[in-house]
Amino acid sequence: MGSYIPNTENEQSQMLSEIGFQSMEELFGHIPDEVKVKDGLNIPEGMSELEVRKSMQKIAGKNRVFETIFRGAGAYRHFIPSIVKSVISKENLLTAYTPYQAEISQGILQSIFEYQTMICDLTGMDTSNASVYDGATAAAEGIAMCKERKRKKAMISATVLPYVLETVKTYCFGNGMELVVIPEKDGVTDVEFLKENIDKETACVYIQHPNYYGNLEDAENIGNIVHEAGAKYIMGVNPISLGVLKTPREYGADVAVGDGQPLGLSIAFGGPYLGFMACVEGMTRKLPGRIVGQTVDHNGKTGYVLTLQAREQHIRREKASSNVCSNQALCALAVSVYMAAMGNEGLANAAIQSTSKAHYLAAELEKIGFAVENKTDFFHEFVTKSETPAETALKALEEQGILGGYPLDDHRILWCCTEVNSKEEMDAVVRILKEV
């Protein structure tokens, strides 16, 4: 059995007797017998570190790691600089709790302040929080922060990631907001439907850009429609795309959210990732979760603290703007280090290479009978439709060590390219599919 308890049995007995107990049983003697576990826990015996390592490695070995991936749909394999792992492995940062004691947490607090600044810069917005759980919860929290006494209806486009839509539905089941799904038309949000159904009770409209199918939405136009109705405009964005695409601010958004995973986090079977949230200045006090602010100490020295806590659960309890307590701080740190290491040029380059490669693969697939469905401009994801069943095509790729796109139905596949996919790999996909 492994153990991380330093005190020996002997020391434990001494400590017990010093405080007046004969045994552990006596120390727990005040707990009523009728609720006590009688015959111990029915779980396996503990193991040495060597055995645990072997056991976990064996489990990991049952997963298949694909050398080449063309699948996105909410989880994106991008290049991760080595310095990211180096920084997030530093134990003073890794093993700390939320920075409640500012005087010994200046490093963590400053890193969050830098993260907030970078997210604002990336999205063009004024204020960022310190992160929430992921892109889907950021979307749900973004919608909740727009709720007003006379505006309790939220509208969301059907072209968002399925997990985002489902999560938003769940949160609305909780908080009682009415949710209207704007249908898809030709792969993008049905703007006519939006125009006809937005009203004085609409609190906000949420769209994703680029959307689930990789398409660019008519984002500026939608923003105008939303604002004319007096509602708030929320955009869910892929942060990598912002290296080259217009920011939510430039499209007129009031709130920008998204999943930060593409910025330096591994795909990791779905988590941990992080949700970023940023907004225009007037909405700052509605943001959920932690926010770090700059201030001074008693000697006038610059320092950082958790601030605007009057929004939060530990102060406001049932009147809080959200229940968020733990967030994804270490992931936010990873994102900061990623953006700093990539720099302005690196971020633009990752975006341009991702979209360029997607366009190359789309054109090559088109040549062999995988018709590209996207009717509008797309970023780094696109949909093909083929006579070849999706399952057959993807199986052929899998046999050659390639994880192909995500099957949307029997004949449609959602593909994704990032800067890590080489021309050679894309040509291999085309070669294999030609044979199918």
Partner 1 sequence: MLVFEKSRPGRGCSMLPACDVEIVLPKEKDKRELALHMPELSENELSRHYTELAKKSHGVNDGFYPLGSCTMKYNPKINEDMAALPGFTEVHPLQPAHTVQGCMEVMKETEEYLCEITGMDHMTFQPAAGAHGEFTGLLLIKAYHESRGDKKRTKIIVPDSAHGTNPASAVMAGYSVVSIPSGEDGCVDLEKLRAVAGDDIAGLMLTNPNTVGLFDKNILEITNIVHGCGGLCYYDGANLNAVMGTVRPGDMGFDVIHLNLHKTFSTPHGGGGPGSGPVGCKECLTEFLPSVLVEGEETLSFVKSEHSIGEMKSFYGNFLVVVRALTYLKTLGREGIPKASQNAVLNANYMMNKLKDLYTMAYDEVCMHEFVMSLSDLKKKTGVSAMDIAKGLLDNGIHPPTMYFPLIVDEALMVEPTETESRETLDEAIQVFRNLYEMAEKEAESLHAAPVTTPVTRLDEVGAARHPVLRYQFS
Task: Kindly identify the residues of this chain, within the stretch 135-164, that bind partner 1 according to CB under 8 A.
Answer: 135-137, 144, 161, 163-164
Pick from 131, 157, 374, 384 the residue near partner 1 by CB under 8 A: 131
Nearer to partner 1, 355 or 384 (CB): 355
Nearer to partner 1, 91 or 196 (CB): 91
Going by the DSSP 8-state scheme, the letter that residue 386 receives in this structure is -
Residues 280, 388: Cα–Cα separation, whole Å? 47
What residues between 290 and 319 interact with partner 1 by CB under 8 A? 290-299, 301, 303-305, 307-310, 312-319
Pick from 148, 174, 186, 282 the residue near partner 1 by CB under 8 A: 174
Strand, coil or helix: what is 412?
strand
Residue 90 in the binding site for partner 1 (CB under 8 A): yes
Minimum distance from CB of 226 to partner 1 (Å)? 18
Nearer to partner 1, 312 or 373 (CB): 312
Q: Which amino acid is at 154?
A: A
Going by the DSSP 8-state scheme, the letter that residue 400 receives in this structure is T
Do the bridges between strand 402-403 and strand 68-69 make them parallel or antiparallel, or are there none, so unpaired?
A: parallel
Minimum distance from CB of 230 to partner 1 (Å)? 25
C-beta of residue 131 within 8 angstroms of C-beta of residue 331: yes
Minimum distance from CB of 21 to partner 1 (Å)? 8
C-beta of residue 378 within 8 angstroms of C-beta of residue 214: yes
Cβ-proximal residues to 288 (8 Å cutoff; 6+ apart), any chain: 129, 132, 141, 144, 145, 277, 311, 321, 322, 324
What residues between 398 and 417 interact with partner 1 by CB under 8 A? 398, 403, 406
Nearer to partner 1, 229 or 383 (CB): 383
Cβ-proximal residues to 80 (8 Å cutoff; 6+ apart), any chain: 264, 265, 266, 338
Q: Which of 137, 161, 262, 248 is nearest to 213 (CA)?
A: 161
What residues between 340 and 399 interact with partner 1 by CB under 8 A? 340-350, 352-353, 355-357, 359-360, 377, 379, 394, 398
Nearer to partner 1, 55 or 230 (CB): 55
C-beta of residue 156 within 8 angstroms of C-beta of residue 206: yes
Nearer to partner 1, 60 or 150 (CB): 60
What residues between 210 and 239 interact with partner 1 by CB under 8 A? 216, 219-220
Q: Which of 131, 183, 124 is nearest to 158 (CA)?
A: 183
What residues between 42 and 71 interact with partner 1 by CB under 8 A? 42-47, 49, 52-53, 55-57, 59-66, 69, 71
Q: Residue 171 is inside which H or E element, if any?
A: helix 162-175
Minimum distance from CB of 181 to partner 1 (Å)? 14
Residue holding tokens 């225009």? Answer: 280
Nearer to partner 1, 44 or 196 (CB): 44
Residue 185 in the binding site for partner 1 (CB under 8 A): no
Nearer to partner 1, 150 or 319 (CB): 319
Minimum distance from CB of 287 to partner 1 (Å)? 10
Cβ-proximal residues to 102 (8 Å cutoff; 6+ apart), any chain: 109, 303, 304, 305, 306
Residues 384, 410: Cα–Cα separation, whole Å? 11
Residue 175 in the binding site for partner 1 (CB under 8 A): yes
Site string for partner 1, 252-291 (x = CB under 8 A): -------x------xxxxxxxxx---------x-----xx
